Amino acid sequence: MSLETAYTCGADPTVPGKPRILFTSVFGPFAQDDEFGSRAINPMELYHNQVTRVQGPFSLRMFHRSWGLMMMRDNISAPSSLLDFPTRDRFIQELETERYNIVAISAIVPNFLKVKEMCRLIRQIQPEALIIVGGHISGIPQLKTRVAADHVVRLEGVRWFRGFLGDDTNAPVRHPQIVSGIGTRTMGMHLSEAPGEVAATVIPSVGCPMGCNFCATSAMFGGKGKFLNFYDTGDELFTIMCGMERTMKVQSFFVMDENFLLHKKRALRLLELMEEHDKSWSLYVFSSANILRSYTYDQLVRLGISWVWMGLEGKSSKYQKLAGANTRELVRELQSHGVSILGSSIIGLEEHTPENRGDFYFR
């Protein structure tokens, strides 16, 4: 099955008086040395691109849907279609066979040339359509004029589109049914994708209040240290997760939130409901060291915290999220309680020098 076939979604019924919208990611093929990209600079998958790219054939490989586009598609009143990683020919076919008032493209910075080409094709095939570009690519200066877009959005997309369309910006956010990964494989072996064997993705919020000076995520959603909760309470999250458990047959959840456990009242209420209803779920989360230390190990285990992606910026960093933390000891203790840890760091911060390069990762 091709990527384009696996990721393409159909249109909603026509809604009178509302513009018709095409949401799309950039086109493939990916990880190619061609006029639109570089295999070395931008491998396709998240893990192979950022986490396990130096592990060669042992690298973990998987694809992820465009979760932001799915959230926007499911939370506006206008009829819409979603092309998730189409080929260039498939994108052209869609423009030639269906008429849209708006084409919205999401991309990251390395895909600038693909976005520019897609804007050119839209102007050529459907010159009357508005072009909206969002995602991390929106951080490129003067992007609007460089790719010939009508709007560049560097805000949370659901609320922005609702405001643009005249919808209620404060209406409840409907959560799409999202599997955390597609096409997972390593050493040429594909993992099963049977119902219940792939975690569901839950997105409680976007942005991050920690305000680290390298944080592109919070900068996307209102500025450094800003965040927006889609769901403020543990009750809301529990309802969403129960729905996913029922329809997707899952018992595990990848929580796409920069620091999920930071919102402690919400997390502990979720724990309360899980125990009240006998839910033995596994949660895979992002968290900072100081927030993990604010919970007891008993609470973390009961909440089902099975895997944590934790930032480790080094001994000389001044970030509050690492203040007073002995990360080696913390990792060992978490592992002794059955919690797997993925540690990551940013290289090239102001305190990083050739003399202290061995101290970057652990304090």
Give domain status of residue 189, yes or no.
no
Mean pLDDT, range 288-294, rounded to an integer: 90
Q: Is the separation of the CB atoms in 106 and 23 below 8 Å?
A: yes
Task: Indicate whether 23 pLDDT > 60.
Answer: yes
Asked if 138 and 287 sit in the same domain, the reply is no
Mean pLDDT, range 268-278, rounded to an integer: 98
Query: pLDDT above 70 covers what percent of the chain?
Result: 90
| Domain boundary residue, one of 165, 185, 213 | 165
Would the pTM of this model clear 0.75, i.e. be above it? yes
Give domain status of residue 155, yes or no.
yes
| Domain boundary residue, one of 165, 181, 205 | 165
Give domain status of residue 188, yes or no.
no
- pLDDT class for 53, splitting at 50, 70, 90? confident
- Number of structural domains (the chain) is 2
Asked if 257 and 311 sit in the same domain, the reply is yes
Predicted pLDDT at 220? 82
When comparing pLDDT for 357 and 120, which is higher?
120
Tokens of 132: 């909206």
Mean pLDDT, range 257-271, rounded to an integer: 95
Asked if 305 and 236 sit in the same domain, the reply is yes
CATH of the domain at 353: 3.20.20.70
Give domain status of residue 176, yes or no.
no
The set of residues, in sequence order, having a beta carbon less than 8 Å from that of 176 and lying 6+ positions away, is 67, 70, 71, 73, 74
Dist. CA 312–CA 307, nearest whole Å:
15
φ/ψ of residue 191, rounded to 5 = -85, 155
Predicted pLDDT at 3? 43
Task: Indicate whether 13 pLDDT > 50.
Answer: no
Our CA angle for 131, 97, 149, nearest 5°, is 10
pLDDT in tens, 134-167: 999 999 999 999 999 999 999 899 999 999 999 9
3-state helix, strand, coil in the chain (%, to 5): 35, 20, 45
Task: Indicate whether 304 pLDDT > 80.
Answer: yes
Asked if 335 and 215 sit in the same domain, the reply is yes
Give domain status of residue 262, yes or no.
yes
Asked if 210 and 96 sit in the same domain, the reply is no
Asked if 205 and 161 sit in the same domain, the reply is no
- What DSSP letter does each residue of 114-151 carry, written as one string? HHHHHHHHHHHH-TTSEEEEESGGGGSTTHHHHHT-SE
Asked if 30 and 130 sit in the same domain, the reply is yes
Mean pLDDT, range 254-263, rounded to an integer: 93
CA atoms within 13 A on the CB side of 288: 20
Task: Indicate whether 20 pLDDT > 80.
Answer: yes
CA atoms within 13 A on the CB side of 39: 4
Mean pLDDT of the chain: 88
Give domain status of residue 283, yes or no.
yes
pLDDT in tens, 67-107: 999 999 999 999 999 999 999 999 999 999 999 999 999 99
Asked if 259 and 343 sit in the same domain, the reply is yes
Asked if 349 and 300 sit in the same domain, the reply is yes
Asked if 148 and 200 sit in the same domain, the reply is no
pLDDT in tens, 216-251: 787 888 888 888 999 999 999 999 999 999 999 999
Q: Is the separation of the CB atoms in 311 and 320 below 8 Å?
A: no
Asked if 158 and 244 sit in the same domain, the reply is no
DSSP structure class, residue 191? P
CATH of the domain at 89: 3.40.50.280
Q: Which domain holds residue 299?
A: 194-359
Predicted pLDDT at 289? 87
From 15-29, 34-48, 131-145, 277-291, the region with the lowest mean pLDDT: 34-48
* Amino acid occupying residue 168: D
From 39-43, 48-52, 340-344, the region with the lowest mean pLDDT: 39-43
Asked if 249 and 313 sit in the same domain, the reply is yes
Give domain status of residue 184, yes or no.
no
